[in-house]
Amino acid sequence: MGFIEAAILGLIQGLTEFLPISSSAHLRIVGELLPSATDPGATFTAITQIGTELAVIIYFWRDIVRIIGKWFRHFFPQSGISRKDPDVRIGWLVILGTIPIVIVGYVAQEQIRSIFRSLWLVAIVLIVFGILLGLADWLGRRVRRIEDMTMPHGLLIGIAQMLALIPGVSRSGATTSAALALGYTRPAAARFAFLLAIPAVLGSGLYELVHSFGEPPGYYGYAETAVATIIAFFVGYAVIAFLMRYLERGSFLPFVIYRIALGVLIMVLLALGVFSAY
């Protein structure tokens, strides 16, 4: 059953990582519904996210190679690449936007593994940040492109990403909401959210993987976690392709409705004693 459960969780991770509905919240909830009825844990969640971030790297490979290449070359005057080059600026924006989550993620390790995983908290933030996403999508001007992003905007979006340490907030949901509120188009908001997540998620996953040596990553062992990570990679790639096409014309309203409905359902199940908060 361990492999079957891990495969299910890997599928959930791949389906929900890039949609603004919080993959960590879904892993936490689905874990309660499986036969083992256990929280997969922060370590298992972080490691499986390596799979989905590898999907991001492959999907945006050309963009990533171009941005990294120009960012390094702009330090050499003979390259002719200015610091004002859009790709160079995006490189600096990703670095700047990653700083908040690195600092808070390191300092708040104990809370991430305990208090933040309360299903009451998950339900509340699903609803609250669902409403914020809806308001940002509705009221945002949606005229700015990713090439127009400024350093202050990059930092603000990075601070929003920091909130994703709480299951239920959603990394893509928080960063996309911030970008929409700042006036960026839906595709631009999603694209920067994907790029911004790469160093933070890979760093977190590798950190948890290294520190899990000698002690299995939560309820599931390394083999089960590897199965979940591989499944998350393939499913996540398909979801990225779908979402980028969808956002050319579609809105975030379906995700807002889903978040609110799921949050309310969790509260009802908690109140009835079907779920326990921890």
What is the Cα–Cα distance from 123 to 264, expressed in whole angstroms? 7
- Residue 37 pLDDT greater than 80, yes or no: no
Q: Where are the alpha helices (DSSP H) in 108-221?
A: 109-113, 119-139, 151-162, 171-181, 186-211
What is the Cα–Cα distance from 126 to 120, expressed in whole angstroms? 10
Residue 278 domain flag: no
Residue 220 domain flag: yes
- Name the nearest CA neighbour of 266 among 133, 121, 131, 132: 121
- Residue 85 pLDDT greater than 70, yes or no: yes
Q: Which domain holds residue 110?
A: 2-271
Cα 230 to Cα 12, 29, 100, 193, 266: the distances in Å are 12, 21, 29, 22, 29
The pLDDT assigned to 275 comes to 84
The pTM for the full model equals 0.90
The pLDDT assigned to 277 comes to 84
Average pLDDT over residues 113-139: 93
- Average pLDDT score over the chain: 92
- Residue 43 pLDDT greater than 70, yes or no: yes
The angle formed by the CA atoms of residues 150, 152 and 154, to the nearest 5 degrees, is 70
Average pLDDT over residues 269-273: 93
- Residue 1 pLDDT greater than 80, yes or no: no
Total number of domains in the chain = 1
What is the Cα–Cα distance from 148 to 188, expressed in whole angstroms? 10
Average pLDDT over residues 9-16: 96
Q: pLDDT of 165-191, one tens digit each?
A: 998 999 999 999 999 999 999 999 999
Residue 276 domain flag: no
